[in-house]
Chains A and B, each alone.
Chain A
């Protein structure tokens, strides 16, 4: 309380009245401040930039060919038609087969499900063993595994062709599943190891005192605690394997081509006119699976990344 020494009464402000009239409660905020305009302006611009291609694709896939030939790619369809979608799914021809993308879709599913389950099952046990059961040479083993993540795929393509041929799996879905499982191993093991390493050691010790063994601790303590990281691993694998083109085209044969390869064959078929609407529909159909996975598990994905993946 600074005491006011000046004589005039009007200068004197008693501390009480200041308390009554001064700012109180939450500070008022302006909605259209320059800062907000900047932030939201940028965000809207960027999202438009990213959304526009998707818009063009959807719009085009709903148009008939005559409308597309007008060349106005941004205009909404005058006459909405789902024929391109039907054609893309069930009728488009690749080579001799004229059953559209559906064959590729089911091939991809048959590749995806075992690859994802197998790679996650193995990698999570790997990560658990490396994080909690430090055995002799575990660090070396881990280093080798990580180095594996940096070796370019191209180096291994031919050796794997030979190996698969020797065991009679070349050109089969089983062979491709094995390849996907192996290639997912380094990054998934790293992911799981780091996550399990962030689980308090004392929990693991308590479980050992309680008489749980290697598998008991894994299934009853670690797995139930680690849902977020399993979701992260699942998303990585689903998108990675679904979007894979290279391994699919190399290690399988035309009857068993995954959806991505089939999409390429449809889009790049040189016979006849380019059916942009069918191509667009086929592309969206192919991208639908990873997209769905993202939407369903987005929240868990973020949590898992935040919880374990960044910690070394």
Chain B
């Protein structure tokens, strides 16, 4: 994408006593890129964001923003704007006061402060709220005001720390769209921390999936979805989660995956680097890549089972299908006439499968 880097993190480490929260972490974020840090709680994503913001002192490594080494600089000197999960609006100030607080601290002339506040308010459509106090705002309005506070700083980099987690589902979806539009309009670099994979998939240019203070995979949403680098990423992305079979890749009459008494042909599967591997492995297939009914008859791999549980979602129907001694989640059409206890044939294509090494759990 863009050639020049906006943020560059080199060998970053952070530990609290004996606990390593971040380990030798490297990350480059391009100018104008929307990067999402995704992971379950405790993976270090918020910690990393706080390090970039300068709110936490790092134990080792360097942080560059806009080509400048900011490792030892104060948060306010780093050219960042930040939005927090709890909005963190100053309760005793009006919205206008909240927006202008940072600018006043920076000693900007009054006229410019006013102009910037009004501009930000216009972009976020919070002009009528400027004279109100945060307590008199709804959740969505508060978060808009909090975004405004980051916006007025005219920062090159925006940092979002789970900004939508405190909102209800409907508002979350609306504000998600607004943040995306804001990024299109402003095109500055944004780093966005979330544990919500839908937010990550919809907003990100690239997603960094984190676990245990390290980045497991850094790729476009599409790539992460289609070619997860390891089993953890594969399980983390997608809902319901990917179905896994434990077994071995064996040679012979073309490569096959043997699990229990079944053999899945692996024709069409793209091995990493194009080199087929044999040995113990996991075979993963997403619920939405499985077909049932007449489509299944032509599939390369077919399994017979019985529907245990049906979850109708309207647009789709999720069915848990018992095959031999295990259960598979299958995503079907919302109108599929499926009921508990039905016998079904489930089919899928090895080209859409994901194979992971048994011990390293990395993609093969």
Residues of A within 8 A of B (CB): 200, 202-203, 205-212, 216, 220-221, 224-225
Q: Is B80 in the interface zone, CB < 8 Å from A?
A: yes
Chain B hits for A202, CB < 8 A? 84-86, 88, 161
Q: Is B251 in the interface zone, CB < 8 Å from A?
A: no
Chain A hits for B89, CB < 8 A? 206
A211 contacts B90, CB within 8 Å? no
**7 A-B contacts (beta carbon < 8 Å):** A205-B50, A205-B55, A207-B101, A209-B82, A210-B149, A220-B90, A225-B91
B288-332 contacts to A, CB under 8 A, are: none
Chain B hits for A221, CB < 8 A? 90
A211 contacts B102, CB within 8 Å? yes
User: A205-B55, A206-B149 given as contacts; is B105 within 8 A of A212 (CB)?
Assistant: yes
B214-238 contacts to A, CB under 8 A, are: none
A208 contacts B55, CB within 8 Å? yes
B92 contacts A209, CB within 8 Å? no
Q: How far does the Cβ of A151 sit from chain B's closest Cβ, in whole Å?
A: 31
Instruction: Determine the distance from Cα of A200 to Cα of B88 in the docked complex, in whole angstroms.
Output: 8
Partner of A203, one of B76, B82, B88, B153: B88
B101 contacts A205, CB within 8 Å? no
A206 contacts B84, CB within 8 Å? yes
A210 contacts B102, CB within 8 Å? yes
Q: Is B75 in the interface zone, CB < 8 Å from A?
A: yes
Chain A hits for B54, CB < 8 A? 208
B146-200 contacts to A, CB under 8 A, are: 146, 149, 153, 161
Chain A hits for B86, CB < 8 A? 200, 202-203
Q: Is B336 in the interface zone, CB < 8 Å from A?
A: no
Q: Is B81 in the interface zone, CB < 8 Å from A?
A: yes
Q: Is B351 in the interface zone, CB < 8 Å from A?
A: no
Q: Is B136 in the interface zone, CB < 8 Å from A?
A: no
Instruction: Determine the distance from Cα of A202 to Cα of B84 in the docked complex, in whole angstroms.
Output: 7
Q: Is B74 in the interface zone, CB < 8 Å from A?
A: yes
Q: Which 3 A-B pairs have the closest CB atoms?
A: A211-B76, A210-B102, A211-B105
Chain B hits for A210, CB < 8 A? 76, 101-102, 105, 149, 153
Chain A hits for B75, CB < 8 A? 205, 208-209, 211
B76 contacts A205, CB within 8 Å? no
Instruction: Determine the distance from Cα of A202 to Cα of B143 in the docked complex, in whole angstroms.
Output: 13
Q: Which residue of B lies closest to A221 (CB)?
A: B90
Q: Is B203 in the interface zone, CB < 8 Å from A?
A: no
Q: How far does the Cβ of A220 sit from chain B's closest Cβ, in whole Å?
A: 8
Q: Is B27 in the interface zone, CB < 8 Å from A?
A: no
Q: How far does the Cβ of B90 sit from chain A's closest Cβ, in whole Å?
A: 6
Instruction: Determine the distance from Cα of A200 to Cα of B105 in the docked complex, in whole angstroms.
Output: 21
Q: How far does the Cβ of B362 sit from chain A's closest Cβ, in whole Å?
A: 36
Q: Is B123 in the interface zone, CB < 8 Å from A?
A: no
A209 contacts B90, CB within 8 Å? no
- By CB atoms of chain B within 10 A, which of A200, A203, A206, A211 has the most? A206
User: A210-B101, A211-B102, A212-B101 given as contacts; is B88 within 8 A of A205 (CB)?
Assistant: yes
Q: Is B53 in the interface zone, CB < 8 Å from A?
A: yes
Chain B hits for A206, CB < 8 A? 82, 84, 88-90, 146, 149
B92 contacts A225, CB within 8 Å? yes
Chain A hits for B102, CB < 8 A? 209-211
Q: How far does the Cβ of A134 sit from chain B's closest Cβ, in whole Å?
A: 11
Chain B hits for A225, CB < 8 A? 90-92
Q: Is B106 in the interface zone, CB < 8 Å from A?
A: yes
Instruction: Determine the distance from Cα of A216 to Cα of B105 in the docked complex, in whole angstroms.
Output: 9
Interface readout for B35-69 with A: 1 if CB under 8 Å, 0 if not? 00000000000000010011100000000000000
Chain A hits for B101, CB < 8 A? 207, 210, 212, 220
Chain B hits for A205, CB < 8 A? 50, 53, 55, 75, 82, 84, 88
Q: What would 20 more interface pairs be, CB under 8 Å, given A205-B55, A209-B102?
A: A200-B88, A202-B88, A203-B86, A203-B88, A203-B90, A205-B88, A206-B84, A207-B90, A208-B55, A209-B76, A209-B80, A209-B81, A209-B82, A210-B76, A210-B105, A211-B105, A212-B76, A212-B105, A220-B101, A225-B90
Instruction: Determine the distance from Cα of A212 to Cα of B153 in the docked complex, in whole angstroms.
Output: 14
Instruction: Determine the distance from Cα of A208 to Cα of B82 in the docked complex, in whole angstroms.
Output: 10
Instruction: Determine the distance from Cα of A158 to Cα of B123 in the docked complex, in whole angstroms.
Output: 68
Instruction: Determine the distance from Cα of A206 to Cα of B86 in the docked complex, in whole angstroms.
Output: 11
Q: How far does the Cβ of A50 sit from chain B's closest Cβ, in whole Å?
A: 38
Instruction: Determine the distance from Cα of A202 to Cα of B81 in the docked complex, in whole angstroms.
Output: 13
Instruction: Determine the distance from Cα of A145 to Cα of B76 in the docked complex, in whole angstroms.
Output: 33
Chain A hits for B55, CB < 8 A? 205, 208-209
Instruction: Determine the distance from Cα of A210 to Cα of B92 in the docked complex, in whole angstroms.
Output: 16
Chain A hits for B153, CB < 8 A? 210
Q: How far does the Cβ of A301 sit from chain B's closest Cβ, in whole Å?
A: 20
Interface readout for B266-289 with A: 1 if CB under 8 Å, 0 if not? 000000000000000000000000
Q: How far does the Cβ of A230 sit from chain B's closest Cβ, in whole Å?
A: 14
Instruction: Determine the distance from Cα of A211 to Cα of B74 in the docked complex, in whole angstroms.
Output: 8
Chain A hits for B105, CB < 8 A? 210-212, 216
Partner of A208, one of B76, B85, B90: B76
Q: How far does the Cβ of A208 sit from chain B's closest Cβ, in whole Å?
A: 5
- By CB atoms of chain A within 10 A, which of B50, B75, B86, B153 has the most? B75
Instruction: Determine the distance from Cα of A211 to Cα of B84 in the docked complex, in whole angstroms.
Output: 16
Q: Which residue of B lies closest to A224 (CB)?
A: B92
Chain A hits for B85, CB < 8 A? 202
Q: How far does the Cβ of B48 sit from chain A's closest Cβ, in whole Å?
A: 14
Chain A hits for B90, CB < 8 A? 203, 206-207, 220-221, 225
Instruction: Determine the distance from Cα of A209 to Cα of B80 in the docked complex, in whole angstroms.
Output: 8
Q: Which residue of B lies closest to A199 (CB)?
A: B91
Chain A hits for B53, CB < 8 A? 205, 209
B92-113 contacts to A, CB under 8 A, are: 92, 101-102, 105-106
Q: Which residue of A lies closest to B83 (CB)?
A: A206
A208 contacts B88, CB within 8 Å? no
- By CB atoms of chain B within 10 A, which of A202, A203, A209, A212 has the most? A209
- By CB atoms of chain A within 10 A, which of B85, B90, B92 has the most? B90
